[in-house]
Amino acid sequence: MKKILSIPHPFSLYGPFLHNTGFFRYHLNMEIIRLENKENSENNRVLRQKAKPVKNISGEIRERAREMLDIMHRDRGVGLAGPQVGLLKRIFVTHAEGDQPRVFIDPSIIWTSQDQVSYEEGCLSVPGVWAHVTRPGKIKVQAWNEKGRAFTLEASGLLARIILHEYDHLEGILFIDRLDSAGREKVLSKLEKQKKAG
């Protein structure tokens, strides 16, 4: 985690500006939307909805991207998708260890490798729960960045995994949906216990 935080933040220049407007403090109070172990709750409805294309990369979207990077760093996450902060748009941010922070707008997964890798995943919207998920080891993604520039990125390892996990959020899919029924049952009982404890 130390290593992740030591990487210069591309939006650090905006810090003073955001402090002046009060925006920075406001958005860092924002809670991430969490999955609840009950049907049809407002939180679950947002997390389960398919996000809409951004299309126009406006100043507002750039601000939301900066906000999402800040919230992700605050909560020690390595990825965060729009729906997790109540923004039902096709945007997510990543910051894998050893990589730079990245913004993906209207992304498409244009290629996935045949090889499948199992790795333990967690999610800021499903706190305290970790489980092995099988996903392609390498991917190619096409997206736009916060400056409105199109890019194609080939990723493997942790970055590929984060991108696939975040892309799922845009489709209303959570990592627990990719577990077998026994694994999913375990996660749901853990959520139930957390609810009783909390």
Which of 105, 123, 129, 179 is in the footprint of Zn ion by CB under 5 A?
A: 123
Query: Which residue among 67, 121, 146, 166 is the active-site one?
Result: 166
* Alpha-carbon span 97 to 193, nearest angstrom: 31
Q: Among 2, 54, 195, 155, which residue's Cα sits nearest to residue 68?
A: 54
Judged by CB under 5 A, which stretch of 56-64, 69-77, 118-126, 189-197 contacts Zn ion?
118-126
- Nearer to Zn ion by Cβ, of 11 and 175: the residue is 175
- Nearer to Zn ion by Cβ, of 96 and 123: the residue is 123
The distance of closest approach from Cβ of residue 15 to Zn ion in the complex, given in angstroms and rounded to an integer, is 26
Based on the shown chain and the rule CB under 5 A, indicate whether residue 72 belongs to the binding site for Zn ion.
Answer: no
Which residues sit opposite 103 in a β-bridge?
93
* Alpha-carbon span 120 to 132, nearest angstrom: 4
The distance of closest approach from Cβ of residue 170 to Zn ion in the complex, given in angstroms and rounded to an integer, is 11
Which parts of 143-182 interact with Zn ion (CB under 5 A)?
A: none
In this structure, the dihedral spanned by the alpha carbons of residues 16, 21, 23 and 29, taken in order and rounded to 10 degrees, is 90
Tell me if residue 171 is catalytic. Answer: no
* Alpha-carbon span 120 to 148, nearest angstrom: 33
Catalytic residues: 166
> Which residues in this chain contact Zn ion in the complex, by CB under 5 A?
123
